[in-house]
Structure 1
Amino acid sequence: MKFKIATLLVLSILITSCKEEPTVKKEIIQTPEFTNKGHELVSKMLEKVGNYKALRSKKDVVYTYTYQTPDGKTDISTEKYIFDAELSYGKYEKHERTLSELEGTIEQSFDGKEFWLKQNGNIVNDSIALKRVAFNRPTNFYWFTMFQKLMDKGVSYEYLGEEILNQTPYEVVKVSFNFGDSKPTDIYQLYINKKTTLVDQFLFTVADFGAMDTPNLMTLEYEDVDGMLFPTKRKYKKSTWKAAVSDDPWITVDWSNITFNNDLERSEFEK
């Protein structure tokens, strides 16, 4: 009996010791898979400005959009987006270049199913005007989320090498899109600053208007808003694919008064 008691005592000590031994958890670190160097550079750029997960965590945005052409014609709208559903609304108090034939305040929206337009609170069903809305709403949303959406499925990257512009070294990446349809899509050529990893400027086409041969060059100035970097000051004009701009004056686009997490409701985007 003494032997059995001693044996049980030893076993009890061993079991207790095993229970008290700390468990070591091994953290598995997954290395991102990149299709090429261009893809990797775009990913590193997003580490600097903030990825789409960070943007979606902010739920929604309200900001003032100001667009001015060289002849002084100006659009000023209050833009509202819900990121998760990609809902887009714009209320234009000034619209000298967008549907300028409509007097008074105009509202445009994409409610998740359809585009709609109002003039002074009344629904407008003109097909030509609605085509403009169908271009403006996704375009304005896309420009605001452009960098984050460069990691979407269907995006292709081509590393074009290094280039020095105005004594600044850049990594140049061509971005194209394949969403499974036959219509032409835009092409972007990003100039990623080697020191900051930010896109200082980029070339872009406008496929919806058939402008695929001659790109525009857009330059960017960033602002830190709620922990993310946004290119809130932009200007662009015609260029060559070597980033040699024309002598034309610049078109300017500014985003101001940016606020996130505004508790926007889907009903605000509906007719």
Structure 2
Amino acid sequence: MKLNFLVIIALSFFVISCNQETPATSDVDTAPEIQNQGHQLIYDMVQKVGDFSQFQDKKNVVYTYTYQTPDGKKDVSTEKYIFENELSYGKYDQHERTLADLEGSIEQGYDGSGYWLRHNGENVDDEAALKRVSFNRPTNYYWFTMMAKLLDPGLIYEYLGERKMEGNDYDVVKVTFDTKDDKPKDIYQLYINKESGIVDQFLFTVAEFGKVEIPLLMKLKYEEVDGILLPTIRKYKASTWDAEVSEEPWILVNWTDIKFNTDITPEDFKN
């Protein structure tokens, strides 16, 4: 599998997940009606790392997002989100992957109703560039809130059993989306560490590209920030359904300098 294909489908996966026919924002103030054992395991995991109400209580976040491919190309952006209405902003001072043809600083945002892009302070109306923004903004937001959003309405949970890997015992839970059409559905296969109760790694597919037979494996390391466990160190590459990874190098994603409940306002997300 070629590296650039991995990058494209990984970006697309998270955007597709955001656009499934489920509400845009989780509202999990009380325990949901538990469907089955798999759902219970996901619910218990979210209670350990932090549910969406905890994000809402913190109102917003600012952090540094770094994405690096094995060929050394890197994006570094300052990310800002307001959790109500999922407002999203990113300022890229380094963007060797994202809109690399635009030299200098780029800013992109989602203001709750539409996407916008600025290059060196000037508005960009190019349709192809704005399409990339419409990928990046919900994708980066979804990555940050993903664990909590595993309790969104419209998800289907299936317990796949126990698995021992690299000296750890796991419960494996499959999560899919309940859509109202016949399109293929994205798949998560989450490995919940029996000792810690959190997700150490997960497999995922990208149904939009018809690659449901080729999963990617994402490995996670967590950091506690203001009472929420966040998977701030991440890496992924091609795998099998038995979580046997390819010989390809890892794609790396890191979040640093995370600050909740800052003084940003919805005005900061407007073009």
Q: TM-score, normalised by structure 1?
A: 0.86
Query: Bigger CA drift: 208-217 or 197-206?
Result: 208-217
Q: Provide the rounded CA distance (Å) in 1 between the counterparts of 2:80 and 2:179.
A: 26
Q: Provide the rounded CA distance (Å) in 2 between the counterparts of 1:208 and 1:129.
A: 20
Q: Provide the rounded CA distance (Å) in 1 between the counterparts of 2:263 and 2:212.
A: 39
In structure 2, the partner of 1:216 is 216
In structure 1, the partner of 2:107 is 107
Q: Provide the rounded CA distance (Å) in 2 between the counterparts of 1:88 and 1:208.
A: 24
What's the offset of the Cα at 1:215? 1.1
Identity %: 60
SS of structure 1 residue aligned to 2:157? strand
> Any residues of structure 2 matched to 1:63-212 within 5 Å, and which?
63-180=63-180, 183-212=183-212
Letter in 2 for 1:231: P
Distance 1:139 1:185, change over 3 A: farther
In structure 1, the partner of 2:54 is 54
Q: How many residues are aligned here?
A: 242
What's the offset of the Cα at 1:186? 2.3
Distance 1:148 1:193, change over 3 A: same
Q: Provide the rounded CA distance (Å) in 2 between the counterparts of 1:181 and 1:62.
A: 37
Q: Provide the rounded CA distance (Å) in 2 between the counterparts of 1:199 and 1:78.
A: 26
The answer to whether the aligner puts 1:36 opposite 2:36 as a matched pair is yes
Distance 1:122 1:32, change over 3 A: closer
In structure 2, the partner of 1:234 is 234
Q: Specify which structure has the bigger relative contact order, considering alpha-carbon pairs within 8 angstroms and separated by 6 or more residues.
A: 2
What's the offset of the Cα at 1:207? 3.8
Q: Provide the rounded CA distance (Å) in 2 between the counterparts of 1:31 and 1:237.
A: 34
What's the offset of the Cα at 1:206? 2.9
RMSD of aligned residue pairs (Cα, Å) = 1.5
In terms of Rg, which structure is larger? 1
Deviation digits for residues 134-182 of structure 1 (CA, Å, limit 9, x no counterpart): 1111010001000101111111111100011112110000111124455
Letter in 2 for 1:39: H
In structure 1, the partner of 2:20 is none
Unpaired runs of 5+ residues, structure 1, are 1-29
SS of structure 2 residue aligned to 1:57? helix
What's the offset of the Cα at 1:229? 0.5
Unpaired runs of 5+ residues, structure 2, are 1-29
SS of structure 2 residue aligned to 1:75? strand
SS of structure 2 residue aligned to 1:248? coil
